[in-house]
């Protein structure tokens, strides 16, 4: 990476603030505390004229407490969206490895999860498991992958199991949640898949790897290689506590590549819009309500006097 080239890609600070403001508030700024549009800017902070409460663009999002300058933050985010390895990002941004790892984790943790809740696999689906970390302290990953169509993003469902083994119930739960009934279901013929079609309506086919049969599970077998290569190249290593987030990131990069095209796209999908409170009409120290004087002032040549509205009686015509 060349620092001169990358520095030209970083927008000015005011442009970064504009992008954050649009992602958080939309087209019109308002107070996140009371919803009033009467907001005054003081430097890099804002204050509501109505409730007098201060706020900033970072204090109303998951960026709260950020100490990095906005342009440095943008550079770290640019490195992450472009899959820059930890050591490369450290040298490019001038930050410590610990800081880079913390920010990479924040970016992973705030990837949207809603699209994965409604994920459904259909057609031909391949399923397999992977094991890492040994028999005592290891973990397992169950993977289901829809056979890819040319020119379309891959669709997959990956689940981390916090133990070095997988049973039939865990496989069945993932199938029920993600695989449509009637799909062709390809496996390696392991014991946990035997008779699985009796529990969920799929057409079960399987390879026997001992006979060098791999055609029906080739894509899911290749997925494990891509996953662990991605983790090794970008993060060098992982821990049992972080593997679920890295698996989620890998799935998001495969299924929603537009999220990672540039930092702007990631900001738009990761930062939730601020909820605008409904303003209430009330009297208090933050809001005054003008009283309407309900009386009439009458005057004559000798003596001015006042009549209240409730003593006036209409005269029929």
- The pLDDT of residue 272 is 87
pLDDT at 215 over 90: no
As a CATH number, domain 119-239 is 3.30.420.10
How many Å apart are CA 117 and CA 128, to the nearest integer?
20
SS3 label, residue 301: coil
Token pair of 90 as six digits: 């450290």
Give the Å distances, CA to CA, from 203 to 26, 186, 206, 218, 269.
Answer: 48, 8, 10, 18, 37
Strand (E) or helix (H) holding 2 = none
Can you give the pLDDT at residue 208? 84
Determine the distance from the C-alpha atom of residue 74 to the mean position of all C-alpha atoms in its chain, rounded to a whole number. Answer: 17
- pTM of the complete model: 0.81
- 31 CB-near residues (< 8 Å, 6+ apart): 37, 38, 39, 46, 48, 50, 51, 53, 55
pLDDT of amino acid 309:
54
Helix or strand or coil: residue 135?
helix
What confidence tier does 306 reach under pLDDT thresholds 50, 70, 90?
A: low
Q: In 49-171, at which residue ranges do the beta strands (DSSP E only) sit?
A: 54-55, 124-132, 139-146, 155-161
Rounded Cα–Cα distance for residues 39 and 18 (Å)? 15
The Cα 156–Cα 255 span in angstroms is 8
Rounded Cα distance, 188 and 184, in Å: 14
Q: What is the mean pLDDT of residues 232-246?
A: 94
Type and span of the H or E element at 29 = none
* Closest CA relative to residue 74, chosen from 29, 10, 164, 144: 10
Spatial neighbors of 259 by CB under 8 A, at least 6 apart, are: 111, 112, 252, 253, 265, 266, 269
Percent of the chain scored above 70 by pLDDT?
Answer: 85
Confidence of residue 164 (pLDDT cuts 50, 70, 90): very high
pLDDT score recorded for residue 2: 46
- Name the nearest CA neighbour of 263 among 97, 73, 114: 73
Q: What whole-number distance in Å separates Cα of residue 298 and Cα of residue 308?
A: 10
Assess contact for 147 and 171: CB atoms under 8 A: no
> Would you give the distance in Å from CA 27 to the centre of its chain?
21
Residue 20's H or E segment, with its range, is helix 13-25
Q: What is the mean pLDDT of residues 15-23?
A: 92
Where do the H-state alpha helices sit in 182-311?
A: 218-235, 243-255, 263-270
Domain boundaries, the chain: 3-109, 119-239
Q: Which segment of 70-79, 245-254, 287-296 scores lowest on mean pLDDT? A: 287-296
Task: Name the least confident of 129-138, 209-218, 297-306.
Answer: 297-306
């Amino acid at each position: 990476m060349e620092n001169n080239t990358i520095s030209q890609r970083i927008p000015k600070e005011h442009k970064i603030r504009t992008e954050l403001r649009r992602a958080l508030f939309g087209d019109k700024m308002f107070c996140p505390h009371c919803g009033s549009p009467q907001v005054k800017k003081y430097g890099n902070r804002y204050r509501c004229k109505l409730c007098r409460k201060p706020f900033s663009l970072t204090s109303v999002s998951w960026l709260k407490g950020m100490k990095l300058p906005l342009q440095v933050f943008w550079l770290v985010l640019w490195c992450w969206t472009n899959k820059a390895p930890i050591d490369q990002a450290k040298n490019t941004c001038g930050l410590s490895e610990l800081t880079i790892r913390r920010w990479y984790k924040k970016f992973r943790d705030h990837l949207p999860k809603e699209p994965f809740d409604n994920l459904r696999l259909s057609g031909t689906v391949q399923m397999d498991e992977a094991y890492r970390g040994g028999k005592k302290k290891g973990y397992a990953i169950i993977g289901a992958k829809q056979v890819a169509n040319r020119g379309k993003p891959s669709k997959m469902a990956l689940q981390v199991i916090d133990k070095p083994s997988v049973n039939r119930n865990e496989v069945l739960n993932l199938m029920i949640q993600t695989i449509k009934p009637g799909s062709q279901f390809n496996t390696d013929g392991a014991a946990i898949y035997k008779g699985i079609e009796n529990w969920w309506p799929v057409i079960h086919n399987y390879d026997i790897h001992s006979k060098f049969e791999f055609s029906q599970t080739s894509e899911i077998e290749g997925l494990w290689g891509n996953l662990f290569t991605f983790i090794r190249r970008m993060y060098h290593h992982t821990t049992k506590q972080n593997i679920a987030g890295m698996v989620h990131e890998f799935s998001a990069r495969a299924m929603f590549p537009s999220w990672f095209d540039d930092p702007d796209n990631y900001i738009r999908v990761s930062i939730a819009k601020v909820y605008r409170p409904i303003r209430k009409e009330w009297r208090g120290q933050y809001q005054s309500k003008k009283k309407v004087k309900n009386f009439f002032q009458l005057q004559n040549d000798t003596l001015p006097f006042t009549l209240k509205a409730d003593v006036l009686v209409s005269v029929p015509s």
